[in-house]
Amino acid sequence: MSQPVTDFGQNETPYERYVQADVLTHLQRPLTDDPGEMAFLVTTQVMELWFTVLVHEWRTAVDALRADRLPAALAALGRSAQELRALNASWEPLARLTPRQFNAYRSALGEGSGFQSAMYRHVEFLLGEKSPSMLVPHQGTPRAHAELEQALRAPSLYDEALAYLARHGAVIPDEVLLRERTGRYEPHPAVEAAWRRIYAAGGDGGRGTGAESGPLRLGEALTEVAELVWRWRSDHLAATRRAMGGKAGTGGSSGVEWLEKRARRWVFPELWTARGRV
């Protein structure tokens, strides 16, 4: 039986060259002596990597929908659902912190907050949660600011999904399809009606093509993503409530109160309201 190659001379291993593991494992710079801070740093850095993957998957889905390549879009959305589950599991190392444990290194954050994450903001913009004011914190980081500004002005994942439906027979009004892209998506009764018809007809808009038609599969893929985003927000709320109760959050937020408001907000809203009318 052959043995794995172990001698690469003075060169780095092919694994290191590809994965950049040495970079990843030396990014942590704890600012306190508390042993729990390392877990906090690694966990939040892992979350940033998952945000990066989600942005990649949803931009892939956006491009595929725009080109009417539904299988490629569904594949990207399916991968993102698995990645969201992994992202949500990242809360586990932090979800059982007592206030004393969290307070042991909380001061190291200073005015830092996950709210300031550029990649998380990119995730939110792709979900249709947009506001030009969210660019302000990133003025000092030109690359991140430029990427976010582009995402702010571009159609969101849901915008492209609705445009796909319109091209394939759904009645989506121009005021939705041509809306101002830099603002938060607001639900529209005509969009709810379109999803209601898709679900009531088994996904084919009444044309008798069967329950596995494209619009229904797209709706279910988006619903899966929306549910997992809601779980992310709910797990964030629970972990924060357990660690710090009703204290003000770092970075100037109202902490739990702000997270509660976020947890009540569903993305792709008409996919949820339409279900009660089928």
Annotated binding residues, written as ranges, equal: 106, 236, 250
Cβ neighbours of residue 129 under 8 Å, at least 6 residues apart? 184, 185, 265, 267
* Annotated binding-site ranges for heme: 236
Distance, in Å, from the CA atom of 109 to the CA atom of 107, rounded to the nearest integer, reads 5
Selection from 35, 29, 46, 36 nearest residue 114 by Cα = 46
- The annotation places the binding site for substrate at 106, 250
CA 273 – CA 228 distance, rounded (Å)? 17
If we measure between CA atoms, which residue out of 89, 66, 80, 74 comes closest to residue 214? 74
Query: Which residue, 149, 170, 156, is CA-closest to 124?
Result: 156
